[in-house]
Amino acid sequence: MSVHFRKLALIGIGLIGSSIALAARRQGLVEVISIATRKQDTLDEARELGLGDIYTLDAAEAVRGADLVILCTPVGAYESVIKTIAPALEPGAIVSDVGSVKGHVIKALAPHIPEGVSLIPGHPLAGTEHSGPAAGFAELFTGRWCVLTPTEDVNPAQTEKLAAFWRAMGSQVEAMDAAHHDMVLAITSHIPHLVAYNIVGTVADLEAATQSEVIKFSASGFRDFTRIAASDPVMWRDVFLTNRDAVLEMLGRFTEDLSVLQRAVRTGDGPALEAMFTRTRAIRRSIISAGQETAAPDFGRPHEAPPASPLPIVREHGGGDDA
Ligand X SMILES: NC(=O)C1=CN([C@@H]2O[C@H](COP(=O)(O)OP(=O)(O)OC[C@H]3O[C@@H](n4cnc5c(N)ncnc54)[C@H](O)[C@@H]3O)[C@@H](O)[C@H]2O)C=CC1
What is the C-alpha R_g of the chain? 21
DSSP class of 190: I
User: Smallest distance, Å, CB 283 to ligand X?
Assistant: 22
User: Smallest distance, Å, CB 127 to ligand X?
Assistant: 2
The stretch among 34-42, 242-250, 259-267, 307-315 that binds ligand X (CB under 6 A) is 34-42
Give the span between the Cα atoms of 73 and 52, in whole angstroms: 17
Considering only residues 53 through 112, tell me which ones interact with ligand X, judged by CB under 6 A.
72-75, 77, 80-81, 98-100
Site residue total, ligand X (CB under 6 A): 29
Residue 284: Cβ-neighbour burial (10 angstroms; 0-12, 13-18, 19+): exposed
Choose which of 3, 9, 10, 11 interacts with ligand X (CB under 6 A). Answer: 11
Choose which of 132, 143, 192, 306 interacts with ligand X (CB under 6 A). Answer: 132
Contact criterion met (CB below 8 Å) for 125 and 147: yes
User: Which option in ligand X, ligand ENO, none does residue 189 bind, with CB closer than 5 to 8 A by kind?
Assistant: ligand ENO
Which residues contact ligand ENO (rule: CB under 6 A)?
100, 125-129, 189, 228
- Taking CB under 6 A as the rule, which mask of x and - marks residues 225-254 in contact with ligand X? -------x--x-------------------
Give the span between the Cα atoms of 263 and 133, in whole angstroms: 46
Give the span between the Cα atoms of 28 and 165, in whole angstroms: 10
Closest CA relative to residue 33, chosen from 41, 42, 19: 19
Give the span between the Cα atoms of 127 and 228, in whole angstroms: 11
User: Which option in ligand X, ligand ENO, none does residue 121 bind, with CB closer than 5 to 8 A by kind?
Assistant: none
- Cα angle value 133/72/104 (rounded, 5°): 150
- Cα angle value 63/67/7 (rounded, 5°): 70
User: Which option in ligand X, ligand ENO, none does residue 11 bind, with CB closer than 5 to 8 A by kind?
Assistant: ligand X
User: Smallest distance, Å, CB 247 to ligand ENO?
Assistant: 13
Pick the closer one to ligand ENO by CB: 51 or 239: 239
Q: Does 13 bind ligand X (CB under 6 A)?
A: yes
Contact criterion met (CB below 8 Å) for 9 and 47: no
Contact criterion met (CB below 8 Å) for 191 and 248: no
Pick the closer one to ligand X by CB: 191 or 272: 191
Question: Where on the chain is the footprint of ligand X (CB under 6 A)?
Answer: 11-17, 36-39, 42, 72-75, 77, 80-81, 98-100, 124, 127-128, 131-132, 232, 235
